[in-house]
Amino acid sequence: MSFAVSGVNCAAATPLNADLTPDLSLFTEHCLRLLAEGCHGIALLGTTGEANSFSTAERRATLEAALKAGIAGDQLIPGTGVNAGPETVELTRHALSNGVRNVVMLPPSYYKGISDEGLFASYARIFEAIGDDRLQVVLYHIPQVSGVPLSHTLISRLIAAFPSTVIGIKDSAGDLANMQAIAAAHPGFAVFAGADPLMLPLLKSGGAGCITATSNLIADSLRTIYDHLDDAALVEPAQARINAWRTLSNSYVQIPTIKAMVGLKTGNAAWSRVRPPMVPLDAGQLADLQDKFVTLP
Amino acid sequence: MSFAVSGVNCAAATPLNADLTPDLSLFTEHCLRLLAEGCHGIALLGTTGEANSFSTAERRATLEAALKAGIAGDQLIPGTGVNAGPETVELTRHALSNGVRNVVMLPPSYYKGISDEGLFASYARIFEAIGDDRLQVVLYHIPQVSGVPLSHTLISRLIAAFPSTVIGIKDSAGDLANMQAIAAAHPGFAVFAGADPLMLPLLKSGGAGCITATSNLIADSLRTIYDHLDDAALVEPAQARINAWRTLSNSYVQIPTIKAMVGLKTGNAAWSRVRPPMVPLDAGQLADLQDKFVTLP
């Protein structure tokens, strides 16, 4: 199966300075490590990246820093969908103007109970305002956070109307059957698992890969699975490792826990910082995490 | 009871041009009519105002247009809370720099399951970044849309930490008992009903007034209740009228319905425009609405 975008992509966490602005130097160091560990791409500025708490200026600066650090535009899949359509247009145009054609685009997610018609109109208006044939959009289905699910009807209608633009979806709802159904209905449409343990079964059902949080920590194991899907001797221990790390990363609120674990892995406590409304792990949680961290496979 | 802010405040709808940008001329005409009809203030750029679909630049321009139209700064209560803290700071500073000291501030609402600690830290960081003693903030509790409720513990902690800044709350959850409990716990803290029919019982329980959607249509009846709370001969028909208009405004999705009703009231079909992800009423819905509209008290 050929996809416009595929592979192991990390929903990169964003380290912060003491004033809780993005630490661009530590961030690019992290991105380069993720690529060295096996990621095909960096899905920066997503939910895990706390980008929904960043200004458009901070988002632009973060993407520019990754490019300046030498990461190629086709290795970057920034999140550009925000509540205000004109700002989604601005952020996406900024990516395109910097040689980044693949983006993950959340629908507007403040208003709830939105119809397929309204979501279609929102995406259509944004694509038309951007007006750039290079654009390749990964839709983003994460209803447990956004409150705005993307239905199969909507997905089909968007693919039909914008076949060269709407090239994939990140499905973070955790329902493998939903991901498989989308992949089966739209061969060549890139379905990405938003949960690390689901990349393996999704790849066997025509999926394109993953865009995940635990890949901040164990991208090598995901890459092993991606490259050796039919080699049980390699896949089974890799999947077991992914499961163990993911389970620990869900011990507490996921984003601060993932960041604390990157801190433990790299020996840099600055990674524990999060921007409100996230709260860093407390001392007891950190101590518990550290105890369990050293036992991970 | 004395409050920093009180009265009948309209969560003003925002009319749009054909390109779905805010129609600033029609908007200021609407605001002036609302004040003439009895509103004490205009709570522009809120949920009903579709501001969550507007860029920060569009929000600033809309507030500036209201001021240029001669509306006093103390008659305006713009919404300034967005997901990204730095942009909430920017929008609030912009209001303050234009002589507008009262704002309605949503908490960041993308991330869900946020702790009181995280929401406190978010508000505190924003207030400290703004650093302006003039600021008076109306908190915004609308969990059915934002997905982020404001608990009594959080409200109490914010009032204790920022007594001259955190002066009120708009409670749009529709639970009168919750509004009454907040008012009882914090005398002088301005509790605003987010639902028009609840202003009457809330005022009798120490509330400060309302910030509502139906006031786009029948501000005069709300003002009658506010000014003549103990005069049943005036209050009862006013409340019946409010109930009838509000019921009709909830026949379909509220925001497009309210806007269509303003269009019927003022004879200007341009009012039917909404920005995606909202969808305008269809022809059948509009015809049904018009049939019922002419029978309203």
**In whole angstroms, what is the distance from residue A60 CA to residue A280 CA?**
25
Furthest C-alpha separation in chain B: 52
Single-letter amino acid, residue A140:
Y
Per-residue pLDDT tens digits for A262-291: 999 999 999 999 999 999 999 999 999 999
The residues of A that are catalytic are 47, 110, 140, 170
Percent of chain B's residues with pLDDT above 90: 100
Short-list B179, B161, B168, B164, CA closest to B123: B161
pLDDT of A1 > 80? The answer is no
Q: Among residues B33, B39, B36, B37, which one has the least CA distance to residue B11?
A: B39
Sign of CA dihedral A161, A162, A168, A169: negative
Whether A138 has a pLDDT exceeding 90, the answer reads yes
Q: Compare CB distances from A110 to B52, B86, B117 and report the shortest one's residue.
A: B52
Q: Which residue has the tokens 């983003």?
A: A140
Contact B54 A144 (CB under 8 A): no
If you average pLDDT over every residue of chain B, what do you get? 98
Q: Span A150-155, mean pLDDT?
A: 98
Q: What is the pTM of this model?
A: 0.97
Task: Pick B276's closest partner by Cβ from A20, A85, A276.
Answer: A85
Look up residue A110 and give its amino acid. Y
State whether residue A18 sits within 8 Å of chain B by CB. Answer: no
B54 touches chain A (CB under 8 A): yes
| pLDDT grade for B206, boundaries at 50, 70 and 90 | very high
B277 prior amide bond cis, ω within 30? yes
- What pLDDT is attached to residue A253? 96
Going by pLDDT thresholds of 50, 70 and 90, the confidence category of residue A218 is very high
The SS3 of residue A139 is: strand
What percentage of chain A reaches a pLDDT higher than 90?
A: 100
Answer yes or no: CATH 3.20.20.70 is held by domain B7-231. Answer: yes
Tell me if B121 and A277 make a contact (CB, 8 A cut-off).
yes
**Residues B256-278: pLDDT tens digits?**
999 999 999 999 999 999 999 99
Q: What number is the average pLDDT over the span B104-114?
A: 98
pLDDT in tens, A193-209: 999 999 999 999 999 99
Q: What is the pLDDT of residues B175-197, one digit of tens each?
A: 999 999 999 999 999 999 999 99
Instruction: Note the pLDDT of residue A127.
Output: 98
ipTM higher than 0.85? yes
The nearest CA of chain A is from the CA of B75 a distance in Å of: 26
**B87 contacts on A by Cβ (under 8 Å):** 55-56
What does the pLDDT read at residue B54? 98
Whether A136 and A171 have beta carbons less than 8 Å apart is answered as no
Pairing of strands A209-212, B190-193: unpaired
Confidence of residue A236 (pLDDT cuts 50, 70, 90): very high
First to last CA, chain B: 32
Q: Partners of A173 in the beta sheet?
A: none
Q: Do A146 and B109 touch (CB under 8 A)?
A: no
* Calpha distance A71→A49 (Å, rounded): 17
d(CA A175, CA A194): 10
Element (H, E) at A104: strand A102-105
Q: Report the alpha-carbon distance of residue B255 to residue A110 in Å, rounded.
A: 13
Do residues A86 and A56 touch, judged by C-beta distance below 8 A?
no
- Contact between A176 and A190 (Cβ < 8 Å): no
Mean pLDDT, rounded, for B4-11: 98
Query: Is the pLDDT at B1 greater than 80, yes or no?
Result: no
